[in-house]
Amino acid sequence: MSEIRFDHIAIGAHRMADAPAVLVGALGGTPTGEGGPSGAYTWGQWGFAGGGRLEVLEPLGPDGFLHRFLAARGPGVHHVTFRVPSLSRVCDRAAAHGFRVVGYDDSDPDWVEAFLHPKEALGLVVQL
């Protein structure tokens, strides 16, 4: 499936306010203007020369998946995202190859997603 494209890497952090020092100051990134609150977290993205993007996730509220992630692992890579032409086709293909697909959600026509479980995906949470 050559239509599958790398999109971004997401990083879990305690405070998004700490991100610009590294992403802009040290690495020369530019805020994309995308982001904002989304349920249990807020997020922002920075773009880099050549088209790469990094996304930073900061937890909101007293608990949630991001709090658990940070408590267990500390700040760092949370997931890697790929854009796919057909979520259902790619998930069927992944399952046929023995990968566990979790969090399948096609309830919002503007944003559909599913994840490959990290135990089968090189230790990474892969967002499709």
Domains and CATH numbers, the chain: 1-77 (3.10.180.10), 84-128 (no CATH)
Task: Please check whether residue 13 is in contact with residue 57, taking contact to mean a CB–CB distance below 8 angstroms.
Answer: yes
Tell me the Ramachandran region of residue 92: left when phi exceeds 0, alpha when psi lies from -120 to 50, beta otherwise.
alpha
Beta carbons within 8 Å of 36's beta carbon, 6+ residues apart: 42, 43, 44
Bridge partners of 116, per DSSP, are 101, 126
**Per-residue pLDDT for 73 more than 80?**
yes
State percent of the chain over pLDDT 70. 98
State percent of the chain over pLDDT 90. 79
pLDDT number for residue 1: 54
pTM for this one? 0.88
Whose CA is closest to 51, among 21, 81, 66, 29?
A: 29
Assigned token pair, 27: 């690495």
